Amino acid sequence: MPRPVPHAPARVADERRVRVSLGSRSYDIVIGEGLIDRAGEEIAARLPGIRAVIVTDETVARLHLTRLEIALAGAGIESTCVKLPAGETTKSFAHLERTVDAMLEARLERGDAVIALGGGVIGDLAGFASAIVKRGTNFVQVPTTLLAQVDSSVGGKTGINTPRGKNLVGAFHQPTLVLSDIALLDTLSPREFAAGYAEVVKYGLIDRPDFFEFLERNRPAIFAGGSERAEAIAMSCEAKAAVVAADEEEHASRALLNLGHTFGHALERAVGYDPARLVHGEGVAIGMALAHRFSAKLGLATRQDAGRVAAHLGAAGLPTEIAAIPGPALDRRALMEAIAQDKKVSRGRLTFILTHGIGQAFVARDVEPTDVERFLDEELAK
């Protein structure tokens, strides 16, 4: 069973800690620079005497694995590693099986830990493996992308994709600790950073209009790095932590975190999860722009707000139109089929996250499929 937390190490200057309050399963998100080199100290303080299996991908391993292994060894944590291919297609039954087998071969016990070193793909898959091996082991997230640091590493959603849709197989399994080393973001390409920024914008659009205004004022500084970037990450984590604490397993308000994701996931599936055409954050960006335009079309929000959202995302280098996706034109029928498989669908009724304006998102249940079809036809014709 997961071991109790004795204490956390003392706070370092310029370091931020966000608490996810879930009773006995509460945990810290630590945000700062150089955390990968202190990972052993942070983990050992909470989970003394453990062994660990690191799950990462081949790209991240070349950049960061050695530093993490040195940090763990320095704290007396014995570790082994499984390296998986990079990319969304790794979130599959085949790579889940490979990860589970590596954990069993290492004779990982329930009190030991799985450490996810990577982006959202690795975190989701490693967390799911941690949830199911021996009915649950400790899980530590060391996210290396902006998207993972502000979204997928927080909240306990884990899982894999299937040919029928994204994240349709998984479990809720909260981490013991999240270590977000913002210095690691300097290794990201501009496209990868921008894709993660879409998830930052999402928090402002859900229910924090003041945060959206902060992003409008500070986007160039956030992309450049420094205190504004750290502040945006911390504010994003605080926003998600509040939602997770209120509705851990998405029975109500947590569904708002899917703003842009119903359209976005459908687009990802339609392109076959091909990163050359679309990555997750880009799908979310288009999805959020679509959600605001769809809301305006239904008379729920203003076109001015929809335009403001698209303008901000576009200024960040993100796509906001389906036509911006390279390659063959997409088919409305395929998109509707993917939307019908969305996890928010209830008894066959379509559910979307729509909005009354910036910072005024809400769960819209029983959305008429014909309204969605007409809207998609208009968008695909652009």
What is the pLDDT averaged over residues 285-303? 98
Return the pLDDT at 67.
Answer: 98
Catalogue the E-assigned strands of 104-245.
113-118, 138-143, 157-162, 165-172, 177-181
Q: How far apart are CA 133 and CA 138, in angstroms?
A: 10
Q: What one-character DSSP code corresponds to residue 329?
A: P
Q: What is the pLDDT of residues 85-131, one digit of tens each?
A: 999 999 999 999 999 999 999 999 999 999 999 999 999 999 999 99
Q: Is the pLDDT of residue 160 over 80?
A: yes
**CA 314 to chain CA centroid, nearest Å:** 21
Annotated binding site for Zn(2+): 199, 261, 280
> For this structure, is 312 an active site residue?
no
Active site residue 157: yes
Cα 364 to Cα 48, 303, 338, distances in angstroms:
46, 19, 18
Binding residues for NAD(+): 120-124, 144-145, 157, 166
Identify residue 344 by its one-letter amino acid code.
K
The candidate with the shortest Cα–Cα distance to 146, out of 209, 212, 223, 208, is 223
Q: Which of 16, 64, 229, 261 is catalytic?
A: 261
Three-state secondary structure call for residue 362:
strand
Tens-digit pLDDT profile for residues 136-156:
999 999 999 999 999 999 999
C-alpha to C-alpha distance for 135 and 352, rounded to whole angstroms: 33
Q: Which of 64, 202, 229, 254 is catalytic?
A: 254
Does 164 qualify as catalytic in the annotation? Answer: no
Condensed to tens digits (0 to 9), the pLDDT of residues 63-89 reads: 999 999 999 999 999 999 999 999 999
> Residue 125 and residue 110: Cα distance in Å, rounded?
18
CA–CA distance, 227 with 222 (Å, rounded to integer):
8
CA distance 259 to 354: 7
Catalytic residue flag (residue 228): no
pLDDT of residue 9: 66
Task: Assess whether 251 carries a catalytic annotation.
Answer: no
Q: To 10 degrees, the CA torsion angle through 57, 61, 67, 68?
A: 20
Catalytic, 261? Answer yes
Question: Is 254 labeled as catalytic in the residue annotation?
Answer: yes
> Are 265 and 165 contacting, i.e. CB atoms less than 8 angstroms apart?
yes
pLDDT band, very low/low/confident/very high, at 2 (cuts 50, 70, 90): very low
Q: Is 77 helix (H, G, I), strand (E, B) or coil?
A: coil
Q: Is 7 a catalytic residue?
A: no
Neighbours of 245 (CB within 10 A): 16
DSSP letter (8 states) at residue 12: P
Buried b (16+ CB within 10 A) or exposed e, 283-322: bbbbbbbbbbbbbbbeebbeeebbebbbebbeebebbbeb
The pLDDT value given to residue 247: 84
Enumerate the β-bridge partners of residue 80: 53
- CA 132-134-135 angle, to 5 degrees, is 50
User: How far apart, in Å, are the Cα atoms of 318 and each of 33, 45, 264, 309, 358?
Assistant: 26, 40, 13, 11, 18
Task: Determine the pLDDT at residue 250.
Answer: 77
Residue appearing with tokens 């399963």: 25
- Residue 226: pLDDT band (50, 70, 90) is confident
pLDDT tens track for 361-380: 999 988 999 999 999 999 99
| Residue 1 predicted with pLDDT over 70 | no
Contacts of 118 (CB under 8 A, 6+ apart): 55, 56, 57, 60, 126, 142, 143, 144, 145, 148
pLDDT tens sequence across 19-53? 999 999 999 999 999 999 999 999 999 999 999 99
Q: Give the model confidence (pLDDT) of 230-287 as tens digits.
A: 999 999 999 999 999 988 887 778 889 999 999 999 999 999 999 999 999 999 999 9
Q: What is the pLDDT of residue 43?
A: 98
pLDDT of residue 165: 83
Of how many residues is the chain composed? 382
* Residues 333-364: tens digit of each pLDDT: 999 998 987 756 666 688 999 999 999 999 99
The predicted pLDDT at position 8 comes to 63
Query: Residue 254: what pLDDT?
Result: 82
Cβ within 8 Å of residue 169, ≥6 positions away: 93, 128, 159, 160, 161, 162
pLDDT value for 296: 98
Task: Please tell me the distance from the alpha carbon of residue 84 to that of residue 232, in angstroms, as a whole number.
Answer: 30
Confidence band, pLDDT 50/70/90 cuts, at residue 181: very high
Decide if 280 is catalytic: yes
Indicate if 337 belongs to the active site: no
Work out the pLDDT band at 7, boundaries 50, 70, 90: low
Long-range contacts of 105-110 (CB under 8 A, 24+ apart): 106/51, 106/53, 106/80, 108/51, 108/53, 108/133, 108/134, 108/137, 109/51, 109/134, 109/137, 110/1, 110/2, 110/134, 110/135, 110/136, 110/137
Which domains does the chain carry? 16-187 (3.40.50.1970), 190-380 (1.20.1090.10)
